[in-house]
Amino acid sequence: MGSTIIEKIVRNNIGRAVHPGEIVTVNVDRVMIHDIFIPFVASKFEEMGFSKIWDADKAVLIYDHLVPASQVDDTRHFRIGNEFVEKYGMKNIHRADGICHQLMTEAGYVKPGDIVFGTDSHTTTYGCVGAFSSGIGYTEMASILGTGTLWIRVPETIKVHITGKLPENVMAKDIILKLIGDLGADGATYKALEFTGDTVENMTVASRMSMSNMAIEAGAKCALFTPDEKTAAYCNITLTEKELDLAGDEDAQYCRVMEYRAEEFVPVMACPSNVDNVKPVAELAGKEIDQVFIGSCTNGRLEDLMAAAEILKGKHVAPFVKLIVTPASRKIYREADANGTLAVLAEAGAIITHPSCGLCCGRTGGILTDGETVIATNNRNFLGRMGTSKVNIYLASPKSAAACAVAGKIVAP
Amino acid sequence: MKGMDKFTGKIWILGDDIDTDIIIPTEYLALKTVQDMAPYAFSPLRPELAGKIQDGDIIVAGKNFGCGSSREQAPEIIKALGIKCVIAKSFARIFFRNSINNGLLLIENDRIQGDVSEGDEITISINECIEHRGNQYPITSLPQNLVDILNAGGLVKAMQRRNNLKGM
Amino acid sequence: MGMTIAEKIIAAAAGVESVKPGDIHTVEIDRMMSNDGTTHLTIDMYNKLKNPRIADVGKLVWIVDHNVPCDSVKTAASHRKMRDFAREHNITFYEGAGVCHQVMMENHVTSGELIFGADSHTCAYGAVGAFGTGVGCTDYLYAMVTGKSWLLVPETLKFNLTGRLRDGVYARDLILSIIGRIGANGANYMAMEFGGEGLRTLNMSDRISICNLCVEAGAKTALMEVDETALSYLKEHGREPKHAFCSDDDAQFAKVYDIDLTEIRPIVAKPHFVDSVVDAKACVGTHIDQAFLGSCNNGRIEDLRVGAALIKGKKVHPLVRFLVVPASASVYRQALAEGIIDTFMEAGAIVMNPNCSVCWGSCQGVIGEGEVLISTGTRNFKGRAGHKDSFVYLASAATVTASAIRGEIATADML
């Protein structure tokens, strides 16, 4: 019988065929810890009685949620992180280079077929290059740092097959929002998503990243794309046969198959306060807004900033509306600077911050108050995520967000 | 799970998709300890709740409890508030793992929600059933590997045993 | 009898022939700036007035700059109050355009004006010969409602500048030296006036930096003679002077200081007072956790150029957080165009959007317990940048950048 991508990755990792539902112990290829949780990982690791990291080169520590620090105790996390890195001989540390998920793929820490865990739910992102990656808590992270292994339940797979050409004003973000709306916030819980079809084959790795990033919002354990020549170019590798084989077999077993025609997608938004509360932008048009946020590990990449700049070029953000742009990484910031994107955005009145999680994690970066409305390109619109529980958060694509910033109200791009 | 085979508690009712930002907003995540964070639990939804929960209480919620971030403070805080067990129609994956690893008991049940009101008392018999006003709701038992972690008293203790730490 | 610049501006604003120190006059205020530090309080008081009205809305400029982007629900609420009020009353309003004083200099201030700012560093406007002074929100409200206020005519301290700053020495070193010499209350209630041949060697950026910091010596205002440099700055920004005053030859000064610019050396103000200045060399080797290049005092393109030239091809020390924060959106755009932003980004700096940032210490780059910051900001008071038990050293853009590279206080000549 054939296998899905996740079944192949686990098989390759443990050296024998597996089937969904089975509980197996896998060897971990890479782990990511970010600044919010490093104090907890460090203390649990020592409490567990470990004295060395199983393979220090496989661990990556990234400061992103607290950069720059907005509260007096924030820098404590940096101090503890710096001490941990020093004590256990870790070399992979990024102190102000951008958002963890962007850096993990961009800096080459993740390759197709890898098994990666991170102390962040959006670790599903690395499925964009065909890696099995998932979020875990800090206690499990501490145990992986000691043992290099983790138990997992092999998930069933939902196949999402998309064919055709996307309309001009539709981005990968609209697809994943629509899918989450269709699946529901728990529609893929414990399951793997697998994306196929010429629409996703024609997508950039950056667009795939937006989709795998948000899979967790349907509860998914991971979200996988078959590695191809774009993946190879992105990761700066030549794909091996094993990596090329990371596609679902024709006779693989899927618990569900969802089929979409690309032409039928329209710009959508996830309305307050659930990611699966998805509606076409056209239905929401006219609602006044106070702020727009373009950034995050979901949509803070170069193509996202360029898409926004295309709409904002020669225009200005509406009066009394703020546009906050937070590129996802230092590399992206510099590329957007080099190709003139930042200048266009700045000219249009954008507030451009240093790459970090920014507003998406709700600690700073554009907090709002009662009755205010924000159009945001990030991944969550939960109650209270960006300020008080009376803030209305609409999640949208960078194109939709930019169009709203110019109009001062919700409009379709 | 010693001493927990059967217990009775007062319930608090929450709805569907209780996400981790509701359980503990990011704003408070850099506080030093889980005890410091606990007063802010559920604050976006029910700011009064954390102050009212008493030791031994039980949460009954809808589907997808704990969806959202990987923040392990979520189950730790629920435990720190004195909640003995969370019953929900379903749990989000990371929250589920984090709870087991911290020894917070989770029970999946999708029938009891319609029958109970906030403040009711229910009795739980581990791996057997929930009882409410004479009605019984069966509990599915957990896979063995999870029972092992729970029996060890959580993942930290399990790792301490592995590492032959004294006193384990 | 002759008058000083401060006296001339007050006389003009009071509509009288002449004034002398100690007089109290009712004056017409030309412009009133308020920022998100206190505007919400002003609005609360305004709303409690019976039949409140704004005397001349065209004189008001409101600027959100202290916590941008917004960092908490509390500041979000005060920003909203400010934004809604500005919108309702048609008040000139900026949000995210930069630090208020820089935005004012670029867009509003002109020579000879009398300007109230609900911020102590309003004295910066003296760089173009405007009488800028910081006021609390009660004074601000009165001026907003009546268009007028009362002023005690200050005595003037005259700083007669000669010579030229040496290479590697900056206006920042000069004003810190002066504050160190006269003390943190050395100019209490007084105007500090700058003139002399040495002034001609200083560009507008230098002048803003000098005037801006005069409040740290307690000054009510700072004023510079209006010369070609000032006039061409105004012209570049599309403005005409209201008056271009210089002190009369027989003006009376409380004291005259002769300052030879060639004698100024790189200076550091140690925690926790701005007048606690020492030769920068005396602090070399002091551990730092963070460095900050920015603020209304030292976040202009000239300052960024100094930092960028030093750090080009080098890296920020891995254990130092180096925040670079342009003072305004136009400074940021200029820095983008000159490749300066890229130089800082390549070196590993944290480049933030224009705002007060860690100079204000409540929302961005906040430092923790026991941590040390070296800063081009305005103040180094205890707890100013974060934790109550943290330490701030003030220095020039050059010294700050050199320190960020070395991971400890260092001067540019050590690189």
DSSP-assigned letter for residue A368 = B
User: Which of B54, B21, B13 lies closest to B37 in space, CA to CA?
Assistant: B21
Nearest CA in chain A to C385: A72
Average pLDDT, chain A: 97
Q: How far apart are CA A201 and CA A195, in angstroms?
A: 9
CATH number at residue A294: 3.30.499.10
Last residue of one domain, picked from the residues C246, C262, C278:
C262
Q: Where are the alpha helices (DSSP H) in A215-368?
A: 229-235, 241-244, 281-284, 296-299, 302-312, 330-338, 341-347
B161 within some domain = no
Supply angle C-alpha C83, C87, C92, rounded to 5: 85
Residue A116 · residue A104 · CB < 8 Å: yes
| pLDDT 10s digits, A185-197 | 999 999 999 999 9
Q: State the smallest CA–CA distance between residue B139 and chain A in angstroms.
A: 19
Q: Nearest Cα to C76, choosing from A179, B82, A344, A370?
A: A370
Residue linked to tokens 């090329």: A244
CB-based burial label for C368 (10 Å; 0-12, 13-18, 19+): buried
How many domains is chain B partitioned into structurally?
Answer: 1
Q: Which of A109-113, B102-106, C300-304 has the lowest mean pLDDT?
A: B102-106
Q: A85 is written with which tokens?
A: 């890195």
H or E stretch including A152?
Answer: strand A149-153
The pLDDT assigned to A55 comes to 98
Selecting from A65, A137, A388 the residue whose C-beta is nearest the C-beta of B97 gives A137
Q: Residue A358's closest chain B neighbor by CA?
A: B26
Strand partners, A329: A98
Residues C144 and C13 in one domain: yes
Same domain, C286 and C326: yes
Q: Please list, in sequence order, all residues whose beta carbon lies within 8 angstroms of the beta carbon of residue B62, skipping any fewer than 6 positions away.
A: B14, B15, B16, B17, B18, B88, B89, B113
A47, A219, A389 ranked by CB distance to B44: nearest: A389
d(CA B86, CA B74): 12
Residue A412 lies in a domain: no
Q: Which of A281, A75, A255, A252 is nearest to A178 (CA)?
A: A281
In this complex, which chains have at least 3 CB pairs below 8 Å with chain A? B, C
- Residue A311 domain-assigned? yes
- Please tell me whether residues A215 and A319 are part of one structural domain: no
Amino acid at A208: R
Which residues of chain B are within 8 Å of residue A219 when distances are taken between CB atoms? Answer: 64, 67, 92-93
Of the CA atoms within 13 Å of residue A171, those in its CB half-sphere come to: 29
- Range of B84's domain? 6-139
Beta bridge partners of A225: A195
C164 touches chain A (CB under 8 A): no
Contact A68 C323 (CB under 8 A): yes
pLDDT at residue B150, rounded to an integer: 82
Cβ contact A118–B70 (<8 Å): yes
Same domain, A247 and A279: no
CB pairs under 8 A between A and C: 126
Decide: helix, strand or coil at residue A141. helix
Does the CA dihedral A110-A116-A121-A125 come out positive or negative? positive
Q: Do residue A211 and residue A238 come from a single domain?
A: yes
Residues C106 and C252 in one domain: yes
Which residues is C325 bridged to in the sheet? C294
Q: Specify the pLDDT at position B148.
A: 86
Q: Is residue A216 situated within a structural domain? A: yes
Domain stops at, among A235, A262, A289: A262
Give the separation between CA C220 and CA C152, rounded to whole angstroms: 10
pLDDT of residue B30 exceeding 70: yes
Clarify whether residues A251 and A307 are in a common domain: no
Mutate which: B49, B65, B72, vs A, most A CBs within 10 A:
B72
Query: Which residues span the domain enclosing A41?
Result: 5-262
Residue A163 lies in a domain: yes
Note every long-range contact of C275-280, with CB atoms under 8 Å and residues 24 or more positions apart, other chains counting. C275/C179, C275/C180, C275/C182, C275/C183, C275/C184, C275/C186, C275/C216, C275/C217, C276/C180, C276/C380, C277/C176, C277/C177, C277/C179, C277/C180, C280/C173, C280/C395, C280/C399, C280/C409, C280/C411
Does residue B1 have a pLDDT over 60?
A: no
* A47 in any annotated domain: yes
Q: Do A195 and A276 fall within a single domain?
A: no
Question: Is B132 domain-assigned?
Answer: yes
Does residue B64 sit within a domain? yes
pLDDT score of B4:
57
C204 and C231 in a single domain? The answer is yes
Same domain, C150 and C278: no
Q: In chain A, whose CA is at the least distance from the CA of C390?
A: A72
Task: Provide the whole-model pTM.
Answer: 0.96
Pair (C193, C92) in one structural domain: yes
In a shared domain, residues A91 and A37: yes
Per-residue pLDDT of chain C (415 residues; tens, 9 = 90+): 899 999 999 999 999 999 999 999 999 999 999 999 999 999 999 999 999 999 999 999 999 999 999 999 999 999 999 999 999 999 999 999 999 999 999 999 999 999 999 999 999 999 999 999 999 999 999 999 999 999 999 999 999 999 999 999 999 999 999 999 999 999 999 999 999 999 999 999 999 999 999 999 999 999 999 999 999 999 999 999 999 999 999 999 999 999 999 999 999 999 999 999 999 999 999 999 999 999 999 999 999 999 999 999 999 999 999 999 999 999 999 999 999 999 999 999 999 999 999 999 888 999 999 999 999 999 999 999 999 999 999 999 999 999 999 999 999 999 9
Q: Decide: B145 and A151 in contact? Cβ < 8 Å.
A: yes
Q: Which residue of A has its CA nearest to C355?
A: A351
Q: Do C69 and A353 touch (CB under 8 A)?
A: yes
What value, to the nearest 5°, has the Cα angle with vertex A292 and ends A286 and A296? 135
| Closest-CA residue of chain A to C70 | A366
Residues C328 and C251 in one domain: no
Report percent pLDDT > 90 for chain A: 100
Q: Is residue B17 part of a domain?
A: yes
pLDDT value of position B166: 55
Same-domain pairing of C299 and C169 = no
pLDDT tens per residue across span A332-381? 999 999 999 999 999 999 999 999 999 999 999 999 999 999 999 999 99
Out of A223, A241, A262, pick the residue that ends a domain: A262
Whether A9 and A133 map to the same domain: the answer is: yes
By the 8 A CB rule, do A395 and A269 touch?
Answer: yes
Q: Do B25 and A362 touch (CB under 8 A)?
A: yes
CB distance C348–A70 less than 8 Å?
no
pLDDT of residue A141: 98
End-to-end CA distance of chain A: 46
The answer to whether residue C371 neighbours chain A at the CB level (below 8 Å) is yes
Number of domains into which chain A is organized: 2
pLDDT digits (tens, 9 = 90+) for A192-231: 999 999 999 999 999 999 999 999 999 999 999 999 999 9
**What CATH number is associated with residue C238?**
3.30.499.10
Residues A40 and A151 in one domain: yes
Strand partners, A98: A329
Q: Express each pLDDT in B49-82 by its tens digit.
A: 999 999 999 999 999 999 999 999 999 999 999 9
Q: Which residue of C has its CA nearest to A81?
A: C319
Distance, in Å, from the CA atom of B71 to the CA atom of B66, rounded to the nearest integer, reads 10
Rg (chain C; Cα; Å): 20
Question: Is A367's CB within 8 Å of C70's CB?
Answer: yes
Give A7→chain B minimum CA distance, Å: 18
Q: Are residues A130 and A208 in the same domain?
A: yes
Evaluate the omega torsion of the peptide bond into residue C272 and state whether it is cis, within 30 degrees of 0: yes
Q: Which of A48, A123, A151 sits opposite B156 (nearest CB)?
A: A48
Give chain C's domain count: 2
Parent domain of C176: 5-262
pLDDT at C410: 98
What pairs with residue B7 in β-bridges? Answer: B124
Q: At which residue do the structure tokens 């079944």 appear? A: A7
Interface of B with A (CB under 8 A): 17, 19-22, 25-27, 29-32, 43-45, 63-64, 67-73, 90-94, 97-98, 101-102, 143, 145, 154-156, 159-160, 162-165
Calculate the dihedral angle through the C-alpha atoms of A234, A236, A241, A246, rounding to the nearest 10 degrees: -30
From C235, C262, C289, the end of a domain falls on C262
Q: Which whole number is the average pLDDT over A96-120?
A: 98
Domain contains B48: yes
Q: Both A76 and A146 in a single domain? A: yes
* Mean pLDDT of the region B2-7: 69
Q: What is the CATH number of the domain that holds B34?
A: 3.20.19.10
In whole angstroms, give the CA distance from residue C221 to residue C233. 20
DSSP state of A249: -
CA distances from C144 to A76, A175, A298, C110 (A): 44, 52, 46, 19
**Whether residue A39 sits in one domain with residue A114:** yes
Extended beta strands in B38-134, E state: 58-61, 85-88, 105-108, 121-125, 129-132
Q: Which of C244, C262, C280 is the C-terminal boundary of a domain?
A: C262
Q: Is the ipTM of this complex over 0.90?
A: yes
CA angle, corner A68, sides to A64 and A73, nearest 5?
A: 95
Question: What confidence category does residue B3 fall into, taking pLDDT thresholds of 50, 70 and 90?
Answer: very low
C25 and C172 part of one domain: yes
Provide mean pLDDT across the span A74-81: 97
Question: Which chains border C (3 or more CB–CB pairs < 8 Å)?
Answer: A
Q: Has residue A413 been placed in a domain?
A: no
With bands split at pLDDT 50, 70 and 90, how would you rate the model's confidence at B2?
A: very low
Residues A273 and A240 in one domain: no
